[in-house]
Amino acid sequence: MYSQQPDQYEAPDKDFMIVALDLLSGLAEGLGGHVDTLVSRSNIMTLLFQCMQSQDTMPEVRQSSFALLGDLTKACFPHVKPCIAEFMPILGTNLNPEFISVCNNATWAIGEICMQMGVEMQPYIAMVLSQLVEIINRPNTPKTLLENTAITIGRLGYVCPQEVAPVLPQFIRPWCTSLRNIRDNEEKDSAFRGICMMIGVNPGGVVQDFIFFCDAVASWVSPKDDLRDMFYKILHGFKEQVGEENWQQFSEQFPPLLKERLAACYGV
């Protein structure tokens, strides 16, 4: 009502909105799929859309909105899916690292949406990809934002490798350095599957920075068997492509620990 007739109504209390959004996020995270009943009986998606659009002096409202969107995406995506066409352009415009926490939550939400949408994510890739590539290449970007950006780029490549692979050379080095230090988990798993699929589409895109890819692969303690097979095929494919002699010269650049680990885990 305030947005339609601001002269007749008081502006909503922003702090109250933030607390409410954060509480709903906690419910979605805690209840998981059981939150479905609550969502289906409410107009939460309409209210969330309004909060996401709040280009106001308090970016915290958008920050909490995107966190809730990500949590609802994980918990009850069928309720979120009909709104994706409206939500994605807003997420794209909020990929602005000047507002670190807003940008971070928008990036994370895109990654979660991606995993639910699968190939249906294709029409939205262009809305977000160039901003994400820009963020991952930006100097002095906070570690958490870099990691979330790398995971989301990897996930976009996982569901739409043909669309993302052409820009592989623009992000592969910072992508690898961002994710080499995070522990094995499901997010890292999906992101690395995406990078492997993109390398399959555009192997030339990784050649200049292949040492960084090798280092990132070696950061895995115990990848799932099928992911390990993907790594094995890429490493051996590269070795066969360049030939034994060139591979030896190339691997001489590896730090001893990396060389040892790749030999032990992947036989290269």
pLDDT tens, 121-167?
999 999 999 999 999 999 999 999 999 999 999 999 999 999 999 99
- Helix/strand/coil (H/E/C) assignment for every residue in the chain: CCCCCCCCCCCCCHHHHHHHHHHHHHHHHHHHHHHHHHHHCCCHHHHHHHHHCCCCCCHHHHHHHHHHHHHHHHHHHHHHHHHHHHHHHHHHHCCCCCCHHHHHHHHHHHHHHHHHHHHHHHHHHHHHHHHHHHHHCCCCCCHHHHHHHHHHHHHHHHHCHHHHHHHHHHHHHHHHHHHCCCCCCHHHHHHHHHHHHHHHHCHHHHHHHHHHHHHHHHCCCCCCHHHHHHHHHHHHHHHHHHCHHHHHHHHCCCCHHHHHHHHHHHCC
The tens digit of pLDDT for each residue in 15-52 reads: 888 999 999 999 999 999 899 998 999 999 999 999 99
